[in-house]
Amino acid sequence: MKPGGAELKWIDYSSPETLAEALSLLNEHQKDAGILAGGTDLIVKMRADRINPGQIIDIKSIPELNQVNINSNNDLTIGSAIPCYKIYNNDDIMNLRPELKDSASIIGGTQIQGRASFGGNICNAAPSADSVPLLISLGATCNVQSVNGERTIALEDLFSGPGQTVLEPNELLISITIPKKSDLSGANYIRFIPRNEMDIAVVGTGVSVTLSSNKKNFESVRVSLASVGPTPIFVDGIDKEVSGQEINDESIRVVSNMAKNASKPISDMRGTAEFRQHLCEVLTRRALITAIERAKEA
């Protein structure tokens, strides 16, 4: 056996240039189809014999999946096939959502970022996906289409288990929309890894905060966690506790403890459940403080 697994079995490959063509092909092949954007998860899984698609559908030539759009309301829509480096090298995205660099620049290394997309990171549905917590905290929604029509799914509702989403076998993720940014808001994603780079999050925390007009109180706080449950976790109910509260050590501690209590980690080779719960508190506090600083500067 070759390093990294066996040679791949016979597959058919298609690179449709229109969305209609891609959706029709996906509808025809359903679960036998493998969607190829950057391939940094798909090809690895195929080589390790974890999946065996007979039909590869390369989605990189489809215009809708490669567009960045900022509408008049400042909602940002990012095509699902756009690789990470095109996100943090895009001035329009960075002006509107500089925090996206936090996650886009730490998914794999430089070479992986040359291929891997947010759409792929999302659909791969790893509980540790680095792009997801920040996007959930920003209120991102997934624009999904099939031959039967289209629907929008809140990102926190997309995941049903490790590697599992609620997408039907004939549905394709077209793009991700991040709603309008409030002027007094900021966000941050940080993770804990034992190495400096190129590692899978032991815990990851995405935090988005909106401040009151005097910049002294919380208006809204959204927190999402990676690697502490079977899916990425959205920490529900934080606004009920801290909306309107003054920003101080106590209210920050309320948020970070809620994140800790929302986590449902397991113990594995990357860390014990207890350690991960502790990390949830620490990382949420740190990410929240950075998000507040960014909101004040914004």
Site string for other proteins, 242-261 (x = CB under 8 A): --------------------
Residue of the chain from 5, 98, 139, 230 that contacts other proteins (CB under 8 A): 5
Q: Can you tell me whether residue 5 is helix, strand or coil?
A: coil
91 DSSP assignment: H
- Write down the residue that tokens 């920050």 correspond to: 252
Nearer to other proteins, 80 or 284 (CB): 80
Site for other proteins in 61-90 (CB under 8 A): 83, 85
Which residues in the 193-232 window bind other proteins by CB under 8 A? 196-198
Three-state DSSP state, 287: helix
- 153 sits near other proteins (criterion: CB under 8 A): no
- Rg for the chain, CA atoms, rounded: 19
Question: In the set 21, 47, 67, 294, which binds other proteins (CB under 8 A)?
Answer: 47
State the nearest-atom distance from the C-beta of 46 to other proteins, in Å: 8
**Contact yes or no for 92/109 (Cβ under 8 A):** no
- Among positions 71, 74, 110, 164, the unique one binding other proteins when judged by CB under 8 A: 110
Name residues whose C-beta falls within 8 Å of residue 38's C-beta, 6 or more positions apart in sequence.
81, 83, 112, 115, 116, 117, 120
Which residues pair with residue 13 across a beta bridge?
56
Evaluate whether 213 touches 142 at the Cβ level (below 8 Å): no
Residue 163: closest CA among 52, 277, 50: 50
Instruction: Compute the least distance from the CB of residue 85 to other proteins, in Å.
Output: 6
Q: Is 35 in the site for other proteins (CB under 8 A)?
A: no
Binding region for other proteins (CB under 8 A) out of 3-11, 227-235, 241-249, 285-293 = 3-11
**Binding residue for other proteins, selected from 101, 115, 264, 286, defined by CB under 8 A:** 115
Binding-site member from 11, 68, 266, 289 for other proteins (CB under 8 A): 11
Query: Closest CB to other proteins among 112 and 153?
Result: 112
Q: Residue 213 Cβ, how far from other proteins at the closest point, in Å?
A: 38
129 versus 155: smaller Cβ distance to other proteins = 129
Q: How far apart are the two ends of the chain, measured CA to CA in Å? A: 53
Q: What are phi and psi of 112, to 5 degrees?
A: -65, -40
Spatial CB neighbours of 39, under 8 Å, sequence gap ≥ 6: 115
Order of strands across the sheet that contains 33-36: 12-14, 55-58, 33-36
Beta carbon nearer to other proteins, 13 or 246: 13
Contact yes or no for 146/168 (Cβ under 8 A): yes
User: Judged by CB under 8 A, which of 30, 111, 160, 272 binds other proteins?
Assistant: 111
48 binds other proteins (CB under 8 A): yes
- Name the residue among 123, 154, 137 with its Cα closest to residue 26: 123
Between strands 218-226 and 159-161, the pairing is unpaired
13 is a site residue for other proteins (CB under 8 A): yes
Dihedral (CA of 277, 272, 156, 72) sign = positive
Q: Using CB under 8 A, which residues numbered 14 to 33 contact other proteins? A: 15
Closer residue to other proteins (CB): 60 or 278? 60
The answer to whether residue 60 forms part of the interface with other proteins (CB under 8 A) is yes
Interface residues with other proteins (CB under 8 A) are: 2-5, 7-13, 15, 36, 38-40, 43-44, 47-48, 56, 58, 60, 83, 85, 108-112, 114-115, 196-198
